[in-house]
Amino acid sequence: MNGQWSEKEIIEKYQQDEKMMILAFAQWCINHDYDPAEVYTRAYPHQGNNLLLKEAIEATIPKEESEEIPLPSLVAVLEMYGNEELAFVISQMKKK
């Protein structure tokens, strides 16, 4: 492969990173006493159940055991993965 990543490797890396983004979102919600599924539904009301979100919620830890996830960092990561609506919703929630 001459140091090049195969298409399969690129897709797998993207999927791993996407899972980490979803976990960061879910953990941020837990840390701020929000229900991740409810927040997600506010952003995407017509999407239905999201298996990756369900798995991420199950992988979260109690907020007392978690490190702080800075809102600007989370918003940037969400936007990088095309979740502008979700980034907007959580940004609005923190303004209240």
Per-residue model confidence as pLDDT tens digits over 33-71: 999 999 999 999 998 888 999 999 999 999 999 999 999
What does the pLDDT average to over 6-10?
A: 88
Per the structure, how many domains does the chain have? 1
In this prediction, residue 2 has a pLDDT band, given cuts at 50, 70 and 90, of low
Q: What is the pLDDT of residue 1?
A: 46
User: Long-range contacts of range 38-47, CB-CB < 8 Å, 24 or more positions apart?
Assistant: 39/86, 39/89, 39/90, 39/93, 40/86, 42/89, 43/83, 43/85, 43/86, 43/88, 43/89, 44/85, 44/86
**What residue numbers bound the domain in which 76 lies?**
8-95
Give a yes or no: residue 35 inside a domain.
yes
Structure tokens at 86: 């979700």
Give a yes or no: residue 3 inside a domain.
no
Q: What is the pLDDT of residue 93?
A: 85
Give a yes or no: residue 14 inside a domain.
yes
Give a yes or no: residue 2 inside a domain.
no
Give a yes or no: residue 19 inside a domain.
yes
Give a yes or no: residue 90 inside a domain.
yes
Give a yes or no: residue 66 inside a domain.
yes
State the pTM of this model: 0.87
**Residue 46 amino acid letter:** H
Give a yes or no: residue 31 inside a domain.
yes
In this prediction, residue 14 has a pLDDT band, given cuts at 50, 70 and 90, of confident
Q: What is the pLDDT of residue 11?
A: 86
